[in-house]
Structure 1
Amino acid sequence: MRSKITRIMTRDGSARVHIIESRDIVNEAIRIHGTAPTASAALGRLLTVGSMIGCMLGEKTDALTLTLDGDGEAGKLIVSSDWLGNVRGYIENPLADPPAKPNGKLDVGAAVGSGMMRVIRDCGGNEPHIGSVELVSGEIAEDVAAYFAQSEQIPTLCALGVLIGKNADCIGAGGIIVQLLPFADESIISKLEKNAERLTDISGIFSRYAESDKANLFVADIALDGIEYDLFDEIEVEYKCTCSRERTGNAVHSIGKKEALSLIEEAVAEGKEPVIEVGCRFCGNNYVFTKEDVEEMFADNNKNEEV
């Protein structure tokens, strides 16, 4: 069952809501990066919220990048999303696994540490919009809410959860973002705040309904209890890397023929294969370019120089 985002609006227009069930996305990240439990939870939460924010983008060419640059054991975390909410992610130290909290829960805040959260919205050919906020807790949900409040002046509730099983796989994951719209009704705000208290174990909720395609609606009924709302749409999302041999080749081409060939010479001097090997940190794919590939890559340039 693929992960899914549900988009909702309160009937009176006070708030918009995004809910995601993201277990499949998190398990794919665990498979690719071989993460320890706390690293899985940290990366999983960032992928979860990145997907929801990504599908808030307006145009097909828009893209989103979230970066957590903390001083914790996990190091830097990066998630990118397209406008449909498809995501990919990277964690600098996939083996980060600090001791659990006294209540037994994974200490994501300790793994992330103190530092900055950056949000980059790339809107096609326009200058990207870059916002940043100091990490509030490193638990990610609170940091996202702080970002929206400080950088975009949008009052936001965010709850995220990733539950890791005994086999180090994800058995429940998801999240919700509730954002108040201008002139929101005070009675609706009060109900939203009260209902939010029931979302403290959101990973447990998603775990209980993991095999149901109605998990998002169960969460909606909790978050919007006593509030009339309309379901706008549902979108299937996935962990999706955009790397390719062509794109990687363009990156090699950008350093120039002389530098590319020198990399191959350095590999030979070190007793390695005479190739340039470029790995994608988001999906683990490796792209190999031989000397012949490099020569062919710059062949058109040589022809232009001869004219």
Structure 2
Amino acid sequence: MDLTVEETRSKRSIQLSNIPPDATVCQLKDLIHKKHRKYHPSRTEIRLSARDKGLKEEETLESRGITSGSTVYLKDLGPQIGWTTVFLIEYTGPLVLYLIFYMRPSLIYGGGASAVPYHAVVHLAAACWSFHYAKRLLETVFVHRFSHGTMPLFNLFKNSGYYWSFASYIAYYVNHPLYTAPSFGWSQIYVFFALFAVSEVGNLSAHLLLKNLRPPGTTTRRIPRPDYNPLNGLFNYVSCPNYTYEIMAWIAFTGMTQTLAAAFFTLAGFAQMATWALGKHRNYRREFPEYPKGRKAIVPWLL
């Protein structure tokens, strides 16, 4: 069949001929790239109209009602960067920046800062922070499977700015020479440290379960269900327990260090993750009619 492809921004038209009706969106993007090298498949979306969402790459043209003589729309997403690279950059920054504040306080607070001894909770906080971001880096390399290979390059600066600035903000106060220990002493520290440890293990458990739902090299989606790991029992109550555990970990870090900076980071993170979780929850319910009705998105029984 013959198609007209219109670029949404420039309104430029591209004519394509002899396209098999059962061709996929991915194959159509490859054909466009062969004709115009500028439009690399990783930076384009195919749409039914200029304002629609992009079609899934595995969908066939005929399944979306595209026939010979139709016009489809090409959205140029701009320069792209791989998700693995994005996460490695995003998470390396907070790890390195925090450790600079912790290990070289004289660079931040002045020469006399190194002579002020840290409270033990400051060392524990540095260990927790380092563990969290080291885990994220290892998960990026060995665990996560991304449904989309790339994201717009501009978003890297936005996302990194968020993580890096909050890391510096929190590190400044936790490692400050005038930092004061939590109000309830070691009882408070131990309770919240235990919550942090359980939350980190729970987050990893959820990520491993989600990884096993998607075979390598595919975009297969299935309903996540609890397995033998008791920490994954949270899947009975929420669609995104990885986010639930993540928020629990930062609540624990906030309670353990008793700093407003960590509390602000936790609130900002919850707002963002709740938005992501609600979107994923809606997609699950739309895609799977048999999806468990009692589940919430991120907070059991509430949200």
Shorter-chain TM band = under 0.3
Q: Which has the higher contact order (CA 8 A, sep 6+)?
A: 1
Q: Which structure has the larger Rg?
A: 2
Higher strand fraction: Structure 1 or Structure 2? 1
**Could you state the TM-score of these two structures normalised by the residue count of structure 1?**
0.24
**Could you state the TM-score of these two structures normalised by the residue count of structure 2?**
0.24
Higher helix fraction: Structure 1 or Structure 2? 2
